[in-house]
Amino acid sequence: MWVLLPVFRGLARLAPGIGGPLLGAVLLRCAAPGWVLVRPRPSERRLSWAQEAVALYRARPGAPDRLARALALHAQTLTLVDRYEEACVAVDAATTVPGARLSPAQAAHLRFVRAQSLLECGRTEEALEEARQCVEAYRRAPAPARRDRALGSLPGALRTYALVLGVLGHTEQSVLVYEECAALLRSMSLRQVSRVLLVMPRVFVELVGGLTDLGRYEEALALAPEARESVGGAAAFSFPEIVRPLRVRLLVDLARCHSARGDRDAARATAEAAVAEARTPAGAAWLTVALECLSERLSEADAHDEEVSTLQELADLYADRSQEGDPLLAKTLDDLARCHRRAGDNTEAVVVTRRSVAAYRRAAARDPAYEPELARVLANLSIRQEGASDAESAVTSAREAVTLTRRLAESDWRTHGPLTARRLHVLGQALRSTGDLTATVACYEEAEAVLLDHDDLPGVEAQLATIRDVLADALLARVVTGDLDSTLADLRSLTDLADRADTQYVHARCFRAFDLVRSDEVTRAWESATGEPYPGGTYYFRTDRGRGSNPAER
């Protein structure tokens, strides 16, 4: 009908009494087309038609019902172009038109538009209540009149309600609502389904995602055939720009399910299919998500060459974005550097990690919430610089990581205290590479003291055992290189360490130190200083225990 609009506009100018109402009716039909299988006009065009209808009916005060309907469609078309605040204003205007009598379907539709707009504006709690009332309004409403069939439906309202619940983190409740909506869609006739053509693929794809998030992988995979069918056919033909991203999302979630069940071949094949879908113009917005999924699956399959190329492509995509994409770029570069280091290319790993640090610096400058990630990647840079035999640079990077983590610990000691110990471990390892054993011992002793303040936290016990192991190593190295006074001090430190440690390795290191420096002079000095006989004997220990001498990259 839009091709006839010039005719109706001319008629409205020549005969306002007859042409005005006709033009208004045609504009409303164009803004909310009733033929669901016909591809709609661009959103901006539909918005302009709705605005024209609003202006027309405001100039004709004798038609309040038509003005309210025009304002409702104006609100709906505003959501199509992401102008959600204005959509809320239009909804308020539609509900307050003097003398207007909204049908139950129109009233429910206005709640539907408001719920969607509030959600997109970040007013999630308000959106939840509005979506709940919208569902109740559609449940109570009788079958809509013919002209109101394009104004939303109960399945659409249920989908919005489930979506809001999911955003708020109520995933189990969200899945229950999605399942109710899916059951309703299955019971509808083909004609009824044609009126909710875009609701069905969204519901099934988002339900698969919710089940995946809950770890109900078997149920998600069992739903896969229905979901795949819903993102094909008429919906894919009429709305490729909407359905294609849904296909990518579905494949990504199914790849996660296959991976969780241990089927790595199926997980990789599904992730590759997601990337192929995302390489089309309509799916391009999801290409980064698909590539991230594929890189994870390639890592699981130990396909390192393919993982490097995938991460490189992903990093290039993030680098082309604005600075808002720096955190994603930094994380991707860190993963890429880890791949290079695993392949033995330490030099390239350092180069790429430096780029990751630079990206996190930019992100942290705009938002201090990224400072913990900056500290983590600085520690990784130190580890990789040490692997590339650049010990001085490794010390510099590790010192910055320690300084930053200490500052973070001032405001949140429980979270960043154990991380401070981890960073000190990295610094100690770098210092030992430079031969500075005194500073190395000081780092490890501080790390041990920090961990003792957090011995009630999960994982700290294992970290403490690792620190004591490397501390014993550093003390032993210093024992055999120091003068008599420092040797006696280090022997006492090793004995104290053995008393508070419960690992065979530390105990054996202590006995090993006494054996290595044994001499008449040391023996006399020890007995004179302590009043105890010089320790002796043989200590046997297993070497099959993981000592964890290298701090893991995180």
Whole-number Å distance between alpha carbons of 282 and 530 = 79
The fraction of the chain above a pLDDT of 90, given in percent, is: 55
Residue 540 has pLDDT above 60, yes or no: no
- Residue 233's pLDDT is what? 80
The fraction of the chain above a pLDDT of 70, given in percent, is: 90
- Residue 470's pLDDT is what? 93
Whole-number Å distance between alpha carbons of 286 and 280 = 10
Whole-number Å distance between alpha carbons of 488 and 523 = 10
Q: What is the pLDDT of residues 258-269, one digit of tens each?
A: 999 999 999 999
- What is the mean predicted confidence (pLDDT) over 266-281? 95
- Residue 482's pLDDT is what? 75
Whether 551 and 423 have beta carbons less than 8 Å apart is answered as: no
**Mean pLDDT of the residues in the chain:** 88
Whole-number Å distance between alpha carbons of 85 and 502 = 63
The larger pLDDT score, comparing residue 346 to residue 505, is at 346
- What is the mean predicted confidence (pLDDT) over 319-346? 91
Whether 92 and 86 have beta carbons less than 8 Å apart is answered as: no
Residue 549 has pLDDT above 60, yes or no: no
Which pLDDT band holds residue 145 (cuts at 50, 70, 90)?
Answer: low
Q: Which range (167-181, 285-299, 478-492) has the least confidence?
A: 478-492
Q: What is the pLDDT of residues 390-424, one digit of tens each?
A: 999 999 999 999 999 999 999 999 899 999 999 99
Q: Which range (40-49, 264-273, 362-371) has the least confidence?
A: 40-49
- Residue 33's pLDDT is what? 63
- What is the mean predicted confidence (pLDDT) over 273-280? 94
Which pLDDT band holds residue 539 (cuts at 50, 70, 90)?
Answer: very low
Q: 31 Cβ partners below 8 Å, 6+ apart?
A: 46, 47, 49, 50, 53, 73, 74, 76, 77
- What is the mean predicted confidence (pLDDT) over 178-195? 89
Residue 197 has pLDDT above 80, yes or no: yes
- What is the mean predicted confidence (pLDDT) over 462-471? 91
- What is the mean predicted confidence (pLDDT) over 498-524? 86
Q: What is the pLDDT of residues 472-498, one digit of tens each?
A: 999 988 888 878 888 899 899 988 898
Q: What is the pLDDT of residues 437-449, one digit of tens each?
A: 999 999 999 999 9
- Residue 86's pLDDT is what? 93
- Residue 548's pLDDT is what? 45
Number of C-alpha atoms within 13 angstroms, CB side, residue 546?
A: 6
- What is the mean predicted confidence (pLDDT) over 147-154? 72
**Predicted TM-score of the model (pTM):** 0.81
